Amino acid sequence: MEAMNTPWVRVAAAVLVLSAIFLFFDERSSNVENEAWAAVSSAREPEFTADSLEDVRQQVEGTSAEPWASFYLAMLLYEENTDLDRARQIASASVASHPDHATAEMMSQLIDALDTYSGTP
């Protein structure tokens, strides 16, 4: 029992506990990402409305799927011509939050297109 009280055993125990905690949170994070991408994927179905896409966008906030959910929502609003101001707001926020993301250039082009409608410079 004396060997259990040595500094090396305590260090090893601490490393094991920290490793277990890390693995738990890593697995949880991976599950959150997978669920986010599944939600965005299902939101691409034709029957999804802007309201349901808005719900998906809020659901995936903070994940790697967020810029794509924002892109799909902004484009749907633009294509349906239902709320161009909201489309611009979403596109602008997405570009500001994710300037180096693959969607940033497309969102910037959408903003430019929307600006031609409103006359905004």
Instruction: Tell me the domain boundaries of the chain.
Output: 2-118
pLDDT (0 to 100) of residue 40: 83
Q: Residues 74, 107: contact at Cβ < 8 Å?
A: yes
pLDDT (0 to 100) of residue 38: 86
Looking at the domain that runs over 2-118, which CATH code has it been given?
1.25.40
pLDDT (0 to 100) of residue 21: 63
pLDDT (0 to 100) of residue 27: 54
pLDDT (0 to 100) of residue 97: 92
Place of tokens 């890593």: 26
**Weakly modelled stretches of the chain, pLDDT under 70:** 1-5, 9, 12-30, 118-121
Determine if the pTM surpasses 0.85. Answer: no
